[in-house]
Structure 1
Amino acid sequence: MSILLLDVDGTLIDSFPGIRAGFLHTLDTLGWERPPEEFIARIPGPPMEVTLRSLGMSEEQAQEGLGIYLDYTAGGGWADATAFPGMLDLVRRWKGQGHTVATATSKGESFAEKILAREGFLEHIDFLGAAQEDGPRRSKSAVIDHVLASTGWDTATSDILMVGDRSHDIEGAAEHGIDTVAVTWGYGTPEEWATARATAHSPEELEGIVHDCFARGRLARG
């Protein structure tokens, strides 16, 4: 069984405009100083409360900020996003080739479902793995654990490959013995991608890498 776990923000969907706007709205509402654009460019991917804590917020402040951010996103911020060119066609082809496709995203579950449905991905996804908007399932590792527990997929008997753009994708997958292919059209850096099994610079290159990985087999087991 060949299973693809797909990150959403920065891999399937360019959600940076909405995430950026929600982040800045959160900081302005809290009266917190805005960081440099270099910092803002890296906010998509990790849970928002992790990003807020990295600015020096206390746990209480970060949780208050998360609530503000989620309210903004629910109010329409989720829609300020578009599919990366070529990725919908690639997901369709993967399904046609017999691969099982799931998401493993730190994006809130309802927001992920809405944007993936609007952009045409949802009908090609076998399991929607996402973070809880109000619950403990927030990290990438926790989301992957949820996917595996919910589906019964076993890394000891199935070939599983993660596709993502940030270090937390790679590290979260590695906690479960799963390799990652990093994509460069998202929000990561060369230093982050260097820790992945392979790096793809286009959907076409990603398709070839995934084909080769599954052709070799035993991804999650060796």
Structure 2
Amino acid sequence: MDKYKIILFDLDGTISDPKVGITKSVQYSLKKMGIVEGDFDKLKCFIGPPLQVSFVEYYDFDEKDTQKAIHFYRQRFKEKGMFENKLYSNIPLLLKSLKEQKHTLVVATSKPTVFSEQILKYFNIDQYFDLIVGSNLDGTRTSKTDIIQYILDKYKGHQPDDFIMIGDRKHDIIGAKNMGIDSIGVTYGYGSLEEISQSDPTYIVQTVEQVKDLLMGRKV
């Protein structure tokens, strides 16, 4: 599997488990918007997709209320939410092994780039990534298709076959498919096996160890 020279990683639900920080920040935002939501599990749907999509899809906010909700979300997320987070087991080992094999590693996330950089630095894994690409704070470049397009444009000397996207939600797989690159759907994050299967990734794996085996050319 050494054919993949540039490996794109989603952040939330793929590199780290951000459930506590994201759900508490969404809860805080909703309360500011006059909505009391005590069930954190109900808010897991916010992990992965852009906030611009989730507040509309799950709470039927219009554009104005969505922007207000995102503002409130970021108030709490910047202060403490981004650090209420934990790495999935063996992620540092996976990243170290891939770098030793001379792969180029890139983060491709719908989370704003500025927050993503701080989270990776907090976990001391920013050293493994050549590029960190997220959304912009003004709400642009939030779709995974746009994010992957931006990354491909940064590596114009490479062919689509050189890239692979790893993620836990359908948005990761669909974005990769839209840009003509392969993908790995992981089931240890927040997308169900059904969601991932229906989006038709190139590969489906259940653990971080299987991601490593696949990318290092071992049988999964």
TM over 0.5: yes
SS at match of 2:6: strand
Moved more, 27-36 or 56-65: 27-36
The within-5 A match list for 1:153-164 is: 154-156=158-160, 158-164=161-167
Are the aligned partners of 1:108 and 1:132 in contact in 2 as well (CA < 8 Å)?
yes
Identical aligned residues as a percent: 29
Structure 2: 5+ residue stretches without partners: none
| SS of corresponding position for 2:165 | strand
Partner of 1:208: 213
- 2:137 aligns with 133
1: CA distance, partners of 2:65 / 2:217: 46
Correspondence for 1:63: 67
Contact between 1:70 and 1:133, CA under 8 Å: does it hold in 2?
A: no
- Given candidates 84, 92, 107, the residue that maps to 1:103 is 107
CA distance, structure 2, for counterparts of residue 97 and residue 166 of structure 1: 27
2:184 pairs with 1:181: yes
What residue is the counterpart of 2:87 in the other structure?
Answer: 83
Q: Name 1:219's counterpart in structure 2.
A: none
Change (3 A) 1:159 1:150: closer
- Offset at 1:191? 1.1
Q: Give the secondary-structure state (helix, strand or coil) at the position aligned to 2:32.
A: helix
Counterpart contact for 2:16–2:86, Cα < 8 Å? yes
- 1:46 matched to 2:46? The reply is no
Aligned partners of 2:24, 2:38: CA distance in 1, in Å?
13
Report SS of the residue matched to 2:46: coil
Shift of the alpha carbon at 1:153?
Answer: 5.1
Q: Partners in 1 of 2:118 and 2:73 — Cα distance?
A: 17
Q: Secondary structure at the match of 1:107?
A: strand
Q: Distance in 2 between matches of 1:74 and 1:60?
A: 21
1:11 maps to which of 11, 14, 20: 14
Q: Contact between 1:45 and 1:166, CA under 8 Å: does it hold in 2?
A: yes
Partner deviation per Cα, 1:5-48 (whole Å, 9 max, x = no partner): 00000000111110000000010000125386554222200011
Q: How far does the alpha carbon of each residue in 1:173-218 deviate from its partner, in whole angstroms, 9 at most, with x for none? A: 11101121111211010112212211111122111222349xxxxx
RMSD: 2.0
Q: How far apart in 2 are the matches of 1:118 and 1:35? A: 29
Contact (CA 8 Å) 2:23, 2:40: kept in 1 or not? Answer: no
Q: Distance in 2 between matches of 1:72 and 1:37?
A: 16
Provide TM-score, normalisation by structure 2: 0.90
CA distance in 2, matches of 1:180, 1:138: 19
Contact 2:24 2:40 in 1 (8 A): no
Q: Which stretch of structure 1 is more off in the superposition, 111-120 or 28-37? A: 28-37
Distance 2:56 2:20 in 1: 21
Equivalent position of 1:197 in the other structure? 202
